[in-house]
Structure 1
């Protein structure tokens, strides 16, 4: 009897691995397509920025609005514990990042803050959303992480990077006003909050999929994932690196280890042994932690005058490695999702 159970469990794991591979391969093929289109010159220079702007300001806000509008968590889905577990995992991870980059590597606070983003946060909008949709059916569990990252984590990261420039800003209140403006200009936050508010009002005609406005929004939302992935691939080639990046090889490898392996491991320990998560929530926590560096990493690097090429390489490398980590996580944890 025991042998049969073991065999059945292994077969279930293999089936889930095939599902995970099928889903993630389609995602990474689109990323590769974007890179190849840019390499072949079929995507004009700057086109990746146009596509990214469309995804960030139009398609993803619509997709997130609809997701939050329709979210209907069952009582056994403890979303608060899920977000708290993610937050505690990030806290532990950020302490390690500070010690490694500030104490050991003697990096500036600007670089420490950038690494809080590059290896201490996740690519929610451009990669987690499509992966969660394909593996779990929707991106509802990505939305609270998007809000938490944008409102809390990005604010703290910006605070760390701006500490050295307080004298130019003038006062703490001016800095806080600047930070809040950056955060709440984020269309993903606005769309998530709006969708959540309307879902609480429970207007039947707003949630009805036959309502013509919702149908139009669904068509726009369907474009978010494929265009986001193609834009992500195109941006890699647009930010191609030179031989001088060999000097940063060790730091890039370190970033990949922290983001792709250490972060999911910390999330697993925190989620299972501190918050008692299991099934869907534990797998979602590990899955969101296994996502690569956020796409806005190189944007912050540009803004603060730090090596854009280095952080673009971190983004590229963590994206490639995440394919392996996501599928390993799917093999071990997806069979237990109920």
Structure 2
């Protein structure tokens, strides 16, 4: 066994600063001050006889030696965290941080009905929700679990149903727009309308797929406005409310405006249905106590859809 190992606190301080990209940012993410973190990193560098961080007035970046140390320390600290979380799981009241990576649709339509009662049931758990429309490696991103739809799950992931088991995409437009341009009676008539389109970052514009009694029609309608799915979806809804054109989005997202009459349904008998999302996580490691508590909560509490706020 190696002798004179560096202090674990100094090693952790180095990782915090390297991940945060600076001492002040690391201080905001921890209970330590920027000066204490600086002292810890300086002490570690002195003990190792190597510079681990390049410091400038604008940035703090790891040196080659620092990058090598990070590559070894990061998995080691994760193993330690897993071991501690496993011990916490043996307690009656699970504690710790649960980090979820979810699309904006889940943050808006699914989690509002789940998060408040879950936090009330587990007051010692801290929940962090990261919104991301791309499919990510949850472990590499530092997350415990994610929410995605079935077609975007990897085979080695464990998936647990979350939220409604059936959803629909809806088409809608402002009554004023439809009175000026007419209400289409068939999907192909959308080619003569202004349609508010969406796409995911770095991906092509998505075609609209409509379905009725087994007949599927895919179209690529025209339109002046293109928004990023998730982050820009509310802008698309606002534009539809203002009469810009026809929007296609989750039915639950549009439901408040459909119920109020601010938007009118378009081609409702063609709205396509699809299975609901899943909570997914890796089965290659111990399940942290907060995640286990969340999974158990999902299994014992039926989903009650929240009232979605209007834009």
TM-score (norm 2): 0.25
More helix by share: 1
- Larger Rg, first or second structure (1 or 2): 2
More strand by share: 2
